[in-house]
Amino acid sequence: MVPPEVDQALLTGNPLPSDLSDDEKAACDQLAFFYQHIGYAVEMGSRPQSLTGLADSPVGLAAFMLDHDVKSLELISRVFAGEPEGLTRDDILDNITLFWLTNTGVSAARLYWENKSAFFSARGISIPVAVSVFPDELYQAPRSWAEQAYPNLVHYNKLDKGGHFAAWEQPRHLVAEIRAGMRSLR
């Protein structure tokens, strides 16, 4: 849900539009960082089957799952340091174990292969949409961009906890957001 002119400027290094709000500038900074560190996503999108190490080694799988984006690694590090984050050490190890025992590390990467759209390219989606912005997500979509991408935006909220894997990290917050987002559709 990034405006095309902003996305193009970030990808090419051209100047950003001069009329961006503070929230939009912050999102641009987050996206610029993401675009510099998307190696894992490029690999999964272009050659998911080459990630066979995810099926050959439980340590390789764990390393990949723990260190694929900075915010998730910081969250997991805080959990292992004993800070309450909504996740426990057992939750993290259970998640890795689930992928290992079901041998789904490689097949999970295929989602990136199947998605042929550019990152964050949603535009003109006319169905009702609810957007929940978690602070540790790859980037925090500004309301203005969400409204452009989703003309039928029924709910927009910024939360104080959660990230890229909100259903896993903060399930209560996510459930509350789903309920709030769907409430207007009853």
> Range of 84's domain?
39-114
Q: What is the pTM of this model?
A: 0.77
Beta strands in the chain (DSSP E): 129-133, 153-158
If one compares 74 and 130, the residue with the highest pLDDT of the two is 130
Tell whether 98 and 52 lie within a shared domain.
yes
Q: Which of 79, 114, 149 is the last residue of a domain?
A: 114
Nearest CA to 137 out of 158, 108, 116, 113 is that of: 158
pLDDT at 168 over 90: no
Are residues 65 and 81 located together in one domain of the fold? yes
Query: How far is residue 11 from each of residues 8, 14, 58, 99, 107, measured CA to CA in Å?
Result: 5, 8, 35, 33, 28
- Smallest CA-to-CA distance from 165 within 130, 131, 129, 138 is with 138
The string of pLDDT tens digits covering residues 28-46 is 888 888 778 777 777 777 7
Average of pLDDT values for 66-82? 85
